[in-house]
Amino acid sequence: MKLSEITNYLESIAPLNYQEDYDNSGLIVGDPNMDVRAALVALDCIEAIVDEAISTGCNLIITHHPIVFKGLKKLNGKNYVERVVLKAIKNNIALYAIHTNLDSVHTGVNARICERLGLSGTKVLSPKTGLLKKLVTYCPQAQAEQLRSALFYAGGGNIGNYSECSFNADGFGTFKGNEASDPFVGERGVRHQEAETRIEIVYPIQVERKILLALFENHPYEEVAYDIYKLENKHQLVGSGMLGWLEYDMDAYDFLHLVKDRMQAKVVRHTAVTGKRIKKVAVCGGSGSFLLKEAIAAGADAFITADFKYHEFFDAEEKIIIADIGHFETEQFTSDLLVEIIQKKFTNFAIRLTEQNTNPINYLF
């Protein structure tokens, strides 16, 4: 199997344009055309993971966290990042990361946390903007259905839980071709009036090339009239954090113990328990303090995440319980999620879950 087959599939699940600006998801080391024998999946890419890949015959490592966040100016092995990259190159091992783009999709990291906590009715806590565009075009009524179907197949017309969404209005268009034209209907040099359908669809920006190819290949006119608009609408299935509901409201301490148990956390750092029962819960894998205001505004009773600083705990102001369970702990089940995603598509592909615990933090009890 070619490496590009795997990476293209992963990027169809979690497109690279969904990652945050600071991130470095995608193929970090490797040739997209290389043949992949087997893959090793882990949360972090450290030297022990590369050694495990070598010993198990894996020439692809897929991790949540990218080994390279900032630009490397030198590769001389002076730190673990450089050593990992050098060892991967020397052993012809590809390195691929799927980080904040997997955090952002509604079936990604935060969905797995919600699943483990038994939350239902989940939705993205802070949906992203700037990810959607609208296409408006005009087509002869007789060919409108063929064009609509092609645009849907190319990835247009998906809104939330609905697909094949479009708006259509009938009217008429006029045009007059010059002597060099080859009109689909009408005659050169004569103004023609044609019954047309105005078709509008929304699409995610990463499929724009496919949308335009579908438009030009299925529209009958020699010159296609169309408009593209950038939308400020929030993409309800893409964004930061998630919100969900427990089946029954719980005592706060009982809930915190449930979180510790279900998330296999060593320690839970939390704000004061006020006596309010817990029903609505916000979660964010990794560093989620930036979402505290959104969690409060959404009416969450508790916020499960990691990496809160000391003074940030005061910002809860008894409106919400912050439960910081650790960065590794919030994301440790991401590796299982990635294995499941890949096995669902490539049923016969050799994929291994690492046996290494890459958490750099240890606890003294």
Q: Are 58 and 28 in contact (CB under 8 A)?
A: no
327 is in an annotated binding site: yes
Neighbours of 104 (CB within 10 A): 27
Q: In what order do the strands lie in the sheet with 350-353?
A: 26-29, 94-97, 60-63, 38-42, 350-353
In whole angstroms, give the CA distance from residue 296 to residue 302: 9
In whole angstroms, give the CA distance from residue 20 to residue 217: 34
Residue 37 in tokens: 């024998």
Q: Are 15 and 102 in contact (CB under 8 A)?
A: no
64 is in an annotated binding site: yes
Closest CA to 164 of 145, 149, 142: 149
Give burial (CB, 10 Å; 0-12/13-18/19+) of 73: exposed
Q: Is 124 helix (H, G, I), strand (E, B) or coil?
A: strand
- The beta-carbon contacts of 233-237 under 8 Å, at least 24 apart in sequence, are 233/129, 233/132, 233/202, 234/127, 234/128, 234/129, 235/127, 235/128, 235/129, 235/131, 235/132, 235/204, 236/123, 236/124, 236/127, 236/160, 237/105, 237/106, 237/124, 237/127, 237/160
336 is in an annotated binding site: no
- Angle, helices 47-56 vs 80-90, to 10°: value is 20
196 is in an annotated binding site: no
Q: Are 281 and 113 in contact (CB under 8 A)?
A: no
In whole angstroms, give the CA distance from residue 84 to residue 42: 14
270 is in an annotated binding site: no
In whole angstroms, give the CA distance from residue 312 to residue 335: 29
Q: Is 271 helix (H, G, I), strand (E, B) or coil?
A: coil
In whole angstroms, give the CA distance from residue 38 to residue 110: 27
Binding residue numbers: 64-65, 103, 327, 331
Binding residue numbers for a divalent metal cation: 64-65, 103, 327, 331
